[in-house]
A and B are shown apart, each in its own frame.
Chain A
């Protein structure tokens, strides 16, 4: 008789239940934020209107009319897209070189790049502010694109490196033998073969750029201010306007949640570094 592994009771019922609980737990703040965004500031703090209340669009109308939401949104799109493009533009050749022509220093370089992520951002806040102001770059798109690119570069290179490593070296060498130059190899062989990985990496990089708040809040005032700055600006020192704040936050995270929803598969693949296939 063949021996067949039995599914345990936990595996059959417990695990899905646990997954739902965790899922709901993570979803709840977003749900609550969206719910609150349809309440007036007064309703938002009243316990009797916790679930049942008269929905209003005032917060959203107010946001677009008085807080210039579209300008912030436009800046977010410009900086996140440009930073992602630039990061990939530098990251792909970089990861290609390390994956297929490694030197003795490659491993150390990779570790060093990752180590830069361990630097607390606050440690360089003053010099960054000073330098950017002196250089006249403060509150410019250029600066934000540059900063977003640099802080995401290590993780992007790491991810691309991992994907590129999965491509057999023979195929790249065959390209060399067939007369392809470096650019030809990248364009004709590497990018088509690692397309899935590159897309996942780009998506994650875009999300990280979109959500970045520390630097975008501190290095901008108006011209290059992103949605993070808009949320921060509605933190309202004069009181807690939860309805307003929720609307702004929902409008800021909305696009990225929708994008994430449509690209779930790539995201999971990206976050697990290709371990799930």
Chain B
């Protein structure tokens, strides 16, 4: 099984250091998600674990053994790429069976495992097709099939859902989640989508410019963001973050309040503002409020529907125990 330990790893491309010294432990069976804005080094980090990218310094241990110099083929990891990276000249059957053939497994055993994987991924009808004849979702399933047949120490996913449309993405998200529940194998998943991170992970690693901003469970990150960056990155719609007199009143340089932790009233409240856009989703209503004097815009999330329209005056009251306070350096007070 796969426990992955990164010890003081760094990565430099030419003159640019993309990963400053970094330590991280991913426990056996964990679903770890690396999340962060594009260019934060999350994919580089994953590729370093995979062995596709050399370390500039530091060490990587997989299941207690130093894997720093071990080539990708021998690390016992399986990877699912954003582009799927299927072999276009091979049928689905051959694609899924490829790692087993490389491992010199008996053909009968390969056939059996390919069928089992195909069954679990609903690919039985497509086994003899080429990747070009499959839809995006099916291709992604083949890529996952190719990863699961060899029962790896850990799965690495590099933004696997980015090329799928929204509806398929939700479906595949659930499938990958279920796969983890079923296999209990370590998974390391890279995404820039914090919703994916929140819904799938046991452990989220928030990265910015190669630096780990916070590691924790999804709810830990949601309730106790360590700094302003994590506070703004995790949660949808984004947390309202602002400085000024309101923050000073609470002895903080900056304060943050999530849209769902603000109450609204048309008659009275702590902050007065004007409704900009109200997005009615049915289950929820997102109200974007201007002219509060706090920030350019305050977003409020109300459960259910509320009859507000553009230009209405509205009063907002934050739940006091849900206000996040940050100091001058942006760290949690």
The chain A residues found within 8 Å of chain B, CB to CB, are 168, 170-171, 173-181, 184, 188-189, 192-193
Known: A176-B73, A179-B103, A180-B73. A168 touches B85 (CB 8 A): yes
Q: Which of A173, A177, A189 contacts B87 (CB 8 A)?
A: A189
Check: B146 CB closer than 8 A to any chain A CB.
yes
A and B contact pairs by CB, cutoff 8 A, 18 listed: A170-B85, A171-B86, A173-B85, A174-B146, A175-B87, A176-B52, A176-B73, A177-B79, A178-B78, A178-B102, A178-B146, A178-B150, A179-B103, A180-B98, A184-B102, A188-B98, A192-B89, A193-B88
Known: A178-B146, A180-B73. A173 touches B81 (CB 8 A): yes
For B77, the chain A residues whose CB sits under 8 A away are: 177
Chain A to chain B: the 5 pairs with minimum beta-carbon distance, closest first = A170-B85, A174-B85, A178-B99, A179-B102, A176-B72
Q: Which of B73, B83, B156 contacts A170 (CB 8 A)?
A: B83
Q: Who on chain A is nearest to B52 by CB? A: A173
For A188, the chain B residues whose CB sits under 8 A away are: 87, 98, 102
Q: Which of B72, B86, B99 contacts A173 (CB 8 A)?
A: B72
Check: B177 CB closer than 8 A to any chain A CB.
no
For B86, the chain A residues whose CB sits under 8 A away are: 171, 174
For A184, the chain B residues whose CB sits under 8 A away are: 102
For A175, the chain B residues whose CB sits under 8 A away are: 87, 98
Extra pairs beyond A171-B87, A179-B74, A180-B102 (7, CB < 8 Å): A173-B72, A177-B72, A177-B77, A178-B102, A180-B73, A192-B89, A193-B88
Within 8 A of A (CB), among B87-107: 87-89, 98-99, 102-103
For B83, the chain A residues whose CB sits under 8 A away are: 168, 170
Q: Who on chain B is nearest to A192 by CB? A: B89
Q: Is the CB of A177 within 8 A of B98?
A: no
Secondary structure type dominating chain A contacts:
helix
Q: Is the CB of B88 within 8 A of A181?
A: no
Within 8 A of A (CB), among B49-94: 50-52, 71-74, 77-79, 81-83, 85-89
For A181, the chain B residues whose CB sits under 8 A away are: 73
For A170, the chain B residues whose CB sits under 8 A away are: 81-83, 85
Q: Is the CB of B99 within 8 A of A179?
A: yes
Cα separation A95 to B65 with both chains bound (whole Å): 34
For A192, the chain B residues whose CB sits under 8 A away are: 89
Interface size on B, residues (CB 8 A): 25
For B85, the chain A residues whose CB sits under 8 A away are: 168, 170-171, 173-174
Q: Which of B51, B71, B74, B87 contacts A174 (CB 8 A)?
A: B87
* B132 shortest CB reach to chain A, Å: 13
Q: Who on chain B is nearest to A177 by CB? A: B79
For B82, the chain A residues whose CB sits under 8 A away are: 170
* A115 shortest CB reach to chain B, Å: 26
Q: Who on chain B is nearest to A176 by CB? A: B72
For B98, the chain A residues whose CB sits under 8 A away are: 175, 178, 180, 188
For A173, the chain B residues whose CB sits under 8 A away are: 52, 72, 79, 81, 85
Q: Which of A168, A171, A174, A189 contacts B79 (CB 8 A)?
A: A174
* B62 shortest CB reach to chain A, Å: 14
Within 8 A of A (CB), among B272-303: none
Q: Who on chain B is nearest to A193 by CB? A: B89
Q: Who on chain B is nearest to A178 by CB? A: B99
For A180, the chain B residues whose CB sits under 8 A away are: 73, 98, 102
Cα separation A192 to B88 with both chains bound (whole Å): 10
Cα separation A176 to B71 with both chains bound (whole Å): 8
Cα separation A189 to B89 with both chains bound (whole Å): 8
Q: Is the CB of A179 within 8 A of B150?
A: yes
Interface string of B186-213 (1 = CB under 8 A from A): 0000000000000000000000000000
Q: Is the CB of A177 within 8 A of B102?
A: no
* A224 shortest CB reach to chain B, Å: 39
Cα separation A189 to B94 with both chains bound (whole Å): 12
Cα separation A192 to B71 with both chains bound (whole Å): 24
* A199 shortest CB reach to chain B, Å: 15
Cα separation A177 to B98 with both chains bound (whole Å): 11
Known: A170-B81, A184-B102. A177 touches B73 (CB 8 A): yes
Cα separation A89 to B99 with both chains bound (whole Å): 26
Q: Who on chain B is nearest to A172 by CB? A: B85
Cα separation A188 to B102 with both chains bound (whole Å): 10
Q: Is the CB of B81 within 8 A of A179?
A: no
For B146, the chain A residues whose CB sits under 8 A away are: 174, 178
Cα separation A175 to B51 with both chains bound (whole Å): 13
For A176, the chain B residues whose CB sits under 8 A away are: 51-52, 71-73
Q: Who on chain A is nearest to B72 by CB? A: A176
